[in-house]
A and B are shown apart, each in its own frame.
Chain A
């Protein structure tokens, strides 16, 4: 309990520091802009550097602080059952239902009325996204 309390205090201090840093960075960037308009180039670049570094590091810290636990239940995989007729090559693919298993005799073929067989049960794979630059 004490540990959890200490942890939340540290978290709060972190959050406040990041917000202060964000505020100061914004202030610094604005001062850089004003200095640039007044022709004070040295001061402008000085404040711009501080503002940019501060902004980048506080955004980085904020992304690190985000809740990433993901307490959502694990995603359910779509599983398909492929049923084939050995006689006329009729094929039917449908969602898996409990009781299905590979090589089980299924319902009769709608074309030739012969019993069909569950030839494959497999997980539906997601479509792959286009290759990135580093792939």
Chain B
């Protein structure tokens, strides 16, 4: 019989073989009866890890919000309690049972939300400038978003644990990599807003900013500035949300006003925006298309489409491609290069699709945090 260094333990040789056979049989029975449960426990453990990570990200974003508000707003009282209340803020979308006329209702709800949020920030950060108020709004929106993701994931984790439902646990576990990627990007966005750094979503705004730079800009709608340029004998109005604060602006109203001011004689609208890229596509690459290139809930898109179709104005789009993570993280150099490329495309479009003396509207869409004009 073989000599082993484990002599003090009465196993070895045949007795060891017997133990192995027994373990093998036991494992077979255990996996046959409890295999799925073991798998579920393993998945639950993974989900728990993600919930903890999300909690850490949420807490970090909350910390950034509190410190930014204290730093920029110099409040007299501790704003923590008020911020915690804001992080639980919710918006109820209008009923869609009778969809006719729902867009103005959605716009109304979001206008109230925006105003309420701004007022709250102004109240807890009385010394902040307008630009800082916009940035603080951005920080709070990110913290609110992270809190929401955390609460949803925690809900499904606890529900899965309570019910031991395979379908709930499996669905959540399978989506974890995507959820965590987005959450990490949101976390980076919180700091970008707090410091006033440009984010990827501002690619369209950057295009407009570069075109407007050095020229006089005039406010024509809520948070929207317009500059009149002359490109190859065409009259071009460039629109951009007012920067460098984190603004998005009401492009629908701005385009409506401009079309009216030009006596409905607008030959073309070009919209420039950041757009989601597919995996394998290069960040910052650009492409052209048709339609209203604008994200959000769809209200502004609806308004622009309605105005364009009412006056038969061709709607062209130039997009700068980037991932969802790039769009909320500090801007990448490739996106800045993409913006330069987009300017050339806009100019070419104007030259090819319009004639001298025509009026064109170019709208640079996106969050304008960290981008002046």
Contacts and interface: CB of A to CB of B under 8 A. Distances in A.
Interface of A: 3, 10, 24, 27-28, 30-31, 34-35, 38, 40, 46-47, 50, 64, 68-74, 76-77, 79, 96, 98-104, 120-123, 125
Contacts of A101: 196, 198, 243-244, 370-372
Interface of B: 2-6, 11-13, 16-17, 19-20, 23, 41-42, 49, 52-53, 56-57, 60, 161, 184, 187-188, 191-192, 195-198, 206, 209-210, 213, 243-244, 329-333, 335-336, 370-373
B198 A102 contact: yes
Given A69-B52, A101-B371, A125-B332, A34 B19 contact: no
A28 B20 contact: yes
A71 B161 CA distance: 22
Q: Which 4 A-B pairs have the closest CB atoms?
A: A34-B2, A101-B244, A123-B330, A103-B372
A30 B371 CA distance: 68
A122 B336 contact: yes
B209 A103 contact: yes
B195 A98 contact: yes
Nearest to A64: B42
A103 B195 CA distance: 16
Given A27-B6, A38-B2, A68-B49, A74 B333 contact: no
A24 B12 CA distance: 10
Contact of A74 (B6, B184, B195): B184
Quick one: which of B11, B184, B197, B209 has the most chain A CB within 10 A? B197
Contacts of B56: 70-73
A10 B41 contact: yes
B372 A96 contact: no
Contacts of A40: 2
Contact of B16 (A31, A38, A103): A31
Given A3-B161, A31-B12, A73 B60 contact: yes
23 contacts: A24-B20, A27-B6, A27-B16, A30-B2, A30-B4, A30-B6, A50-B20, A68-B49, A69-B53, A70-B53, A71-B52, A72-B56, A74-B187, A74-B188, A96-B197, A101-B372, A103-B210, A103-B373, A120-B336, A121-B330, A121-B370, A123-B330, A123-B331
